[in-house]
């Protein structure tokens, strides 16, 4: 097929290493069909999908249930296995079953999966370090937030801004620092999800200077919103970690510019509209969809001169491909080498409207925002899944596991003392 792309730009499809498609278990929020439809419409050709579903992707059975659900995918996907206090005996089976990365919740968030103790976390890192797969971290320290939330609730506090007060930047920074120490000790490769504060950048930078293989992402909402969002948008903005004050936002932009933050992911976290507007802020589910709006929002920043197009491609495709081993070993060293492509119109203007999004969760904090620069065609392995801003019918099931191409570098386990080696042997 010949595509007349006159006036358009051909980019590698985005690789979004942080999405929640809710299937199985919460399919009133999203499923693999609607989630990957949103991805295709957003110029995203590969997603890495999170394990906080029912049953959690923490056992071989949980993984099989996830793989069955993912058979509907329209774009390529990696699957996260969960690392918890209680499932370390399943890690080997999860690797053998084909997980592409692991997820560890250091603090509670949607799904209320318990966060492992530091002891269990060290063992988990040691086990995964033998395989070389990357461990993505929800880096928020559970015990700090639990105490602060309780104090706010006891005092009758209940405004959107109280969500931010319950999770100040120390919550994330303490967790990032601790994770980096454990990664250094074990040789585990780690990835810091949803970096929301300037404070997290220092431990990240220092760990990297010490040779720790740590990557990090931030998300469009942390780059585009600040504390005014709590008033202007209301409870819909509730997300973990929270959108923070302006100086944090500015530090995140600097972090993108100087390379401390490697990539942009969305933390696509759909919830039904009624779940985003409950009586008290503490009952409102955390997160919102993002996989369809990332590319238009960030291309708008390119149009405004905040980011170069080359940097955008590195942040949305090159860096995630490198961190998660998606470069084919032999062959072209560019993401999109197997024709995973977003064809974009950098001059096209649209307005974001929740009702027009393809996620089942028709709610977005970006409602009404004008964007300049949108994907008009998306190709996955050479096949159109979106064409002329419309989903291509019959593409359900075209998506494949990235296991086909994923090659992580050799594992480099290290610093493991004999006692710990004996415990986890
Ligand atoms: C995510 C979800 O809803 O699954 N929510 C969120 O606020 N980010 C979970 C998470 O990534 O922490
Ligand atoms: Zn998280
Ligand atoms: Zn998430």
46: enclosing H helix or E strand: strand 44-49
Q: What percent of the chain has pLDDT over 70?
A: 95
180 ligand 1 Cβ < 6 A: no
Residue 2, pLDDT score? 80
What is the rounded (10 degree) CA torsion for 31, 37, 43, 48? 20
End-to-end Cα, the chain, rounded Å: 54
What is residue 423's predicted lDDT score, i.e. its pLDDT? 65
Residue 193 Cα: closest atom of ligand 1:
11
**Cα-to-centroid distance, 243 and ligand 2 (Å):** 13
pLDDT in tens, 394-407: 999 999 999 988 99
Q: Find the ligand nearest to 242 CA.
A: 1
Q: Is the pTM of this model over 0.90?
A: yes
115 in ligand 1 pocket by Cβ < 6 Å? no
Tell me the C-alpha to C-alpha distance, in Å, between residue 272 and each of 20, 179, 340, 359: 13, 33, 30, 10
**More reliable by pLDDT, 328 or 18:** 18
Looking at residue 338, its pLDDT comes to 81
267 lines ligand 1 (CB under 6 A): yes
pLDDT digits (tens, 9 = 90+) for 79-112: 999 999 999 999 999 999 999 999 999 999 998 8
pLDDT digits (tens, 9 = 90+) for 218-266: 999 999 999 999 999 999 999 999 999 999 999 999 999 999 999 999 9
Closest atom of ligand 1 to CA, residue 111 = 4
52 lines ligand 1 (CB under 6 A): yes
Q: 308, exposed or middle or buried, with CB in 10 Å at 0-12, 13-18, 19+?
A: exposed
pLDDT of residue 175: 98
Q: Using the atom order of ligand 1, give the atom closest to the CA of residue 109.
A: 12
Is residue 328 exposed (0-12), middle (13-18) or buried (19+ Cβ within 10 Å)? middle
Rounded CA separation 122/413 (Å): 12
* pLDDT score recorded for residue 107: 96
pLDDT at 133: 98
ipTM greater than cut 0.95? yes
Whether pLDDT at 8 is above 90: yes
Q: How confident is the model at residue 365 (pLDDT cuts 50, 70, 90)?
A: very high
Band of pLDDT at residue 414, cut at 50, 70 and 90 = confident
User: Mean pLDDT, to the nearest integer, of 128-153?
Assistant: 97
Query: Helix or strand or coil: residue 328?
Result: coil
298-323 pLDDT, tens digit each: 999 999 999 999 999 999 999 999 99
Question: Please, are residues 132 and 99 in contact by the beta-carbon 8 Å criterion?
Answer: no
278 or 235: which leads in pLDDT? 235
Listed residue (239, 294, 17) closest to 109, CA to CA:
239
Inter-residue contact 398 to 71 (CB < 8 Å) = no
At 419 the pLDDT is: 62
Tell me the pLDDT band of 330, cut-offs 50, 70 and 90.
low
User: Residue range 207-220: average pLDDT?
Assistant: 98
Scan for tokens 């510019």, then name that residue.
Answer: 257
**Ligand 1 and 22: CB distance under 6 A:** no
- Taking the CA of residue 286 as reference, the ligand 1 atom at the shortest distance is 7
Is residue 286 within 8 A of residue 269, CB to CB? The reply is: yes
Are 121 and 182 in contact by the 8 Å Cβ rule? The answer is yes
Q: Who wins on pLDDT, 336 or 203?
A: 203
pLDDT at site 279: 84
Q: pLDDT value at position 334?
A: 55
> Mean pLDDT in the chain?
95
Region 280-291: mean pLDDT is 97
CB 264 within 8 A of CB 294: yes
| Contact (CB, 8 A) for 207 and 200 | no
pLDDT of residue 384: 97
Environment of ion ligand 2 (residues, CB < 5 A): 109, 138
Q: Is 196 in the pocket of ligand 1 (CB under 6 A)?
A: no
User: Per-residue pLDDT averaged across 167-189, rounded?
Assistant: 97
CA 321 to chain centroid, in Å, comes to 13
Q: What is the mean pLDDT of residues 183-206?
A: 98
Q: What is the pLDDT of residue 155?
A: 98
Ligand 1 centroid – CA 269 distance (Å): 6
Q: Is there a contact between 192 and 215 (Cβ–Cβ < 8 Å)?
A: yes
Task: Please work out whether the CB of residue 406 comes within 6 Å of at least one atom of ligand 1.
Answer: no
20 lines ligand 1 (CB under 6 A): yes
């Amino acid at each position: 097929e010949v595509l007349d792309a006159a006036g358009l730009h051909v980019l590698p499809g985005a690789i979004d290493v942080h999405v929640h498609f809710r299937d199985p278990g919460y399919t009133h929020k999203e499923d693999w069909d609607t989630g990957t439809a949103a991805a295709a419409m957003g110029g995203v050709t590969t997603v890495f999908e999170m394990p906080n579903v029912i049953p959690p992707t923490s056992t071989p059975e949980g993984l099989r249930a996830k793989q069955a659900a993912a058979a509907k995918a329209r774009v390529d996907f990696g699957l996260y296995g969960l690392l918890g206090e209680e499932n370390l005996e399943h890690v080997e089976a999860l690797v053998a079953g084909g997980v592409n990365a692991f997820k560890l919740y250091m603090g509670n968030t949607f799904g209320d999966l318990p966060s492992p103790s530091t002891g269990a976390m060290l063992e988990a890192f040691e086990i995964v370090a033998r395989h070389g797969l990357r461990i993505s971290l929800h880096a928020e320290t559970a015990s700090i937030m639990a105490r602060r939330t309780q104090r706010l609730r006891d005092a009758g506090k209940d405004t959107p801004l109280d969500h931010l007060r319950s999770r100040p930047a120390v919550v994330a920074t303490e967790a990032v620092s601790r994770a980096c120490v454990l990664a250094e000790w074990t040789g585990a490769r780690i990835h810091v999800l949803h970096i929301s504060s300037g404070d997290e950048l220092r431990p990240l930078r220092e760990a990297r200077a010490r040779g720790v293989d740590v990557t990090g992402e931030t998300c469009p909402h942390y780059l585009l919103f600040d504390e005014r969002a709590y008033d202007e948008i209301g409870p819909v903005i509730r997300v973990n970690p929270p959108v923070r004050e302006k100086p944090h936002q500015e530090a995140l932009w600097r972090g993108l510019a100087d390379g401390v933050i490697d990539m942009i992911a969305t933390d696509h976290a759909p919830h039904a509209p009624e779940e985003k507007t409950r009586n008290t802020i503490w009952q409102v589910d955390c997160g919102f969809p993002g996989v369809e709006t990332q590319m238009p929002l960030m291309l708008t920043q390119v149009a405004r001169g905040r980011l170069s197009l080359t940097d955008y491609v590195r942040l949305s495709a090159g860096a995630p491909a490198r961190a998660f081993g998606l470069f084919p070993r032999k062959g072209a060293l560019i993401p999109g080498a197997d024709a995973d492509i977003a064809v974009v119109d950098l001059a096209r203007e649209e307005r974001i409207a929740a009702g027009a999004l393809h996620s089942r969760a028709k709610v977005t904090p970006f409602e009404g925002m004008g964007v300049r620069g949108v994907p008009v065609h998306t190709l996955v392995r050479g096949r159109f899944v979106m064409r002329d801003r419309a989903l291509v019918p019959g593409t359900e099931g075209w998506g494949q596991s990235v296991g086909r191409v994923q090659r992580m570098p050799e594992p480099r386990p290290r610093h493991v003392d004999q006692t710990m080696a004996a415990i986890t042997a």
